[in-house]
Amino acid sequence: QAALHHAAKRNETKRATALIKLGVDVDAPLPETETLRLQTPLLIAAFNGGLEVVNVLLSAGATVNKPPDAGSASVEATPLHCASANGHLDVVKALLVAGADTSVASDPANERAIDVVCARFENEHNKTAIEALLRGDPPEEDMLRAELEALTVRVEALEALG
């Protein structure tokens, strides 16, 4: 099981595909004795921005909305939370296309993915695009709007110079 988790962490698409073909469970959490306790391969790939492995896992039927079964332990996030909080725009898009639910809250903070982005995000360009996706705005419109805003700022700066 842990081999698929390591492939997800390193975005090793060929290795992940081979392991899945061998029958490795795409939703299996790591054993509690592991460092990355209770994380599925999809959570790990989403956290690290491994778009290629995310797509492989989703194609193999990885669960996109439900956090891993932690029994009595607390589960901190879904793959959408992980990708959103780390600014992985392409992974956020892939998860949303696969049916990720933007209303699912994490434990114990009870935060939705958009709450995590708004509270902890630093990359302003991706933040705007990810917030729009999580709100359900058409992504093309928001990205164009963000690009237009950036161009407007540059034009104003150039006009001020001269």
pLDDT at position 54 is 96
In our burial notation (b when 16+ CB lie closer than 10 A, e otherwise), range 11-39 reads bbbebbbebbeeebebbebbeeeeebebb
- Given pLDDT bands bounded at 50, 70 and 90, which one contains residue 102? confident
Q: Bin 124: left if φ > 0, else alpha if -120 < ψ < 50, else beta.
A: alpha
Tell how far CA 7 is from the center of its chain: 16
What is d(CA 35, CA 114) in angstroms, rounded to the nearest whole number?
27
64-100 pLDDT tens trace: 886 555 444 445 678 888 888 788 888 988 998 898 8
Q: Across all residues in the chain, what is the average pLDDT?
A: 77
Contacts for 85 with CB less than 8 Å, ≥ 6 apart: 77, 113, 116, 117, 120, 121
